[in-house]
Amino acid sequence: MPESDTKMGGLITDLPQADVNILIVDDDATVRYLLNEFMENMGYVSYKAASGEEALEALKVHRVDVVITDIMMPGMDGLKLTELIRLNYDIEVIVMTGYSGDYSYEEVINKGASDFVFKPVRFEELLLRLRRVLKERFLKEELRKLAISDDLTKLYNARHFYKQLLAEIDRYRRYRHPLSLLLLDIDHFKEYNDSYGHLEGNDVLARMGQVIRSCLRRMDSAYRYGGEEFTVILPETAGTEARNVAMRISSEVAGEAFYPKSVREKVSVTISVGVAEYCSGEEMEAFIRRADMAMFKSKQEGRNRINFLTPDDPSPL
């Protein structure tokens, strides 16, 4: 019977998530093998661990959505493993036990488990419970996205911007990797709304969201800051590189063509952009204010411009 530490399977197709990774944790090699084979046959990506300690090491290496763990194991038991997983990861846990009298459902759930099954495990029952857990996880993720997203532009909202920027500044303070910020404003947007109506203005805002996202890397994040203002957090990015990103976004926006219903010709829009690179010891508010001042300078100079301000540059205000 093969007993490799890691076995990969295909992609799931009948669940809300298209790529679901499972970690099987059991000190019984036969149980590990059978559950792993079953999960792979069902189309999941499946990993295995022989102990709680080995499982925690696996979680450092692999992205996992659900851990299925036995309770009774040498060393760290399944309940302690569940506690540690729920404390440190956003991962669901299904607990298995062959000792129905030793643990109550409430005890296991209170430790952070998403569900609880008895051994010998019926594969059909485990699959039903797994699907329920994944469905609830999917719904929670959708609700979380709604809470931090702007419905019109599909970008993150301003509330999430402040939370994420604080996290990136904290990461800078630990690793000293560069961090930059863009603030973008649509030029003459009030006049656009007044001329063509708010529905046409909303079309511009929605397209802005699409254009900004298309110009970013996976690690970057974009936000609707308010009204016609947008902001972009650029981790691992120095100011000069951030200016290049701003130029790319500005060029793409200028190349977009809009066709308001009230006119027979295309209309273009432009943006003014401010760029700032984070400086050691700077407060978040000062960092944002410097990017805002850079954007204001772009407006002052006639709009459709990009300005990059360092802490030593004089304020345009």
Catalytic residue numbers, as ranges: 228
Helical H runs in 6-51? 29-41
- The structure tokens 């799931």 sit at 12
CA angle 304, 309, 314 (to 5 degrees): 110
Residue 223: count other Cβ atoms within 10 Å of its Cβ: 26
- The structure tokens 């000293």 sit at 176
- Cα–Cα distance, 78 to 69 (Å, whole number): 6
Closest CA to 112 of 82, 89, 136, 140: 82
Closest CA to 63 of 25, 94, 27, 23: 23
Strand, helix or coil at 235? strand
